[in-house]
Amino acid sequence: MKPISLKEIANITGASPTTVSLVLNGKGRISEAVRQKILQAVKDNGYEPNRIAISLRTGHSNVLGVIVDDIGGPFFGALAKIIEVEAEKFGFRIIYCSSENNLEKARELISMLSHQLVDGYIIMPVPGLQDEILNLKANHKPVVLIDGYYPELDIPHVLVDNLNSVMQGMSCLIEAGHRKIGFVTVDIDLIQIKERLRGYFESLKKFNLKADDKLVLKLPYQMDKGKAVQAVKDLFGSNRDMDAVFFSTNYLGIIGIESIQELGLSIPKDIAVICFDDLEIFRLLPPGISSIQQPVLEIGRTATDLLLAMLGKKKNHLQTDKITIPANLIIRGSIKAINVPKFVE
């Protein structure tokens, strides 16, 4: 019960494989009579071309590779859907992979994908992956980075405007009267994370508040959750006058909320909270956790369009291939104007 091949269609119709191929691809000039006969035979026999054979011969697979840090994560869900929708319009399929922010794993994935003859890549940067990316570029394999980029490399990328989003959020806290603002982030060499921290310091400077390193907590990447919760609790413990806290990722936000719950603190009375990257839970959790919502759909769509343009499938309407997209600041109950004595400006 093997599927029928093009050659068999040729035999059935009395045409040559060449002719059948030409008809199927709408190329060449084939008489209407022959065309119809072939098309009919194709239909009657439920013939569909073998993609593998096509890939082997043509050297391209109509498959895009997408490498994200965590295929189970909340960022990925929305992303996958929009990438798929955009790519499908041009007949592209997607292979998704998780790098888990692990360099070795990411390397293997790229190697694996390239031997599957993947036509293009959407990659979430992993520290140290620069050489592999350059290698892809050298081999004329189009790559678009999302969610981050390598400052030293000239590779197209699409990501949220981390710096300004954080500054917006910080403004909001400061204008609500908060002065002792903590910042919890993760210690990983990713530009997007560094930019968020920079946004924190820039905001303090902008409002003439002095930075205090004791208010900044950098947790090791992939730290055990229990330990992370404890570390955040310690941050609160050693900074009793801290009146607001900024979490630089949604994962950290969850950890932070657990810490706050365990300490029995009340949001926003004891502490105001804002978190980078929204989650459904932030909306549902009383009093609502304010957040900076990433425009995931737009990032995904833009990245895919960019990639398709590089593949020559689509015209590129954008002037640049290094794109930052503004985020949405979502203010919920976790930030409330506090009583600020008038003399404190």
Ordered alpha helix ranges (H), the chain: 6-13, 17-25, 32-45, 51-58, 74-88, 103-115, 130-138, 162-175, 191-206, 225-237, 250-263, 280-284, 296-310
Our finding on whether 226 is near its own copies (CB under 8 A) is no
Q: Is 262 in the site for its own copies (CB under 8 A)?
A: no
> How is residue 63 annotated by DSSP?
E
Contacts to its own copies from residues 90-109, by CB under 8 A: 93, 95-96, 98
Which of 12, 22, 279, 306 contacts DNA by CB under 7 A?
Answer: 22
284, exposed or middle or buried, with CB in 10 Å at 0-12, 13-18, 19+?
exposed
Polymer length of the chain:
345
In DSSP notation, 278-316 reads: --HHHHHSTT--EEEE--HHHHHHHHHHHHHHHTTSS--
Residue 72's binding partner among DNA, its own copies, none (Cβ under 5 to 8 angstroms by kind) is its own copies
**From the list its own copies, DNA, none, which binds 14 (C-beta under 5 to 8 Å, kind-based)?**
DNA
Residue with Cβ nearer DNA (18 or 111)? 18
Q: How far is the CB of 109 from its own copies (least distance, A)?
A: 10
Backbone angles phi, psi at 139, to 5 degrees: -90, 15
Q: Is 227 left (phi over 0), alpha (psi -120 to 50) or beta?
A: alpha
Instruction: Candidates 15, 67, 113, 285: give the one binding DNA (CB under 7 A).
Output: 15
State how far the Cα of 96 lies from the Cα of 67, in Å rounded to an integer: 6
139 binds, among DNA, its own copies, none (CB under 5 to 8 A by kind): its own copies
- Residues forming contacts to DNA in the complex (CB under 7 A) are 2-3, 5-7, 14-19, 21-22, 24-25, 27-31, 33-35, 47-50, 53-54, 56-59
- Residues forming contacts to its own copies in the complex (CB under 8 A) are 1, 3, 48-53, 55-56, 61, 71-73, 76-78, 80-81, 84, 93, 95-96, 98, 111-112, 114-117, 138-140, 254, 257-258, 261, 280-281, 284-286
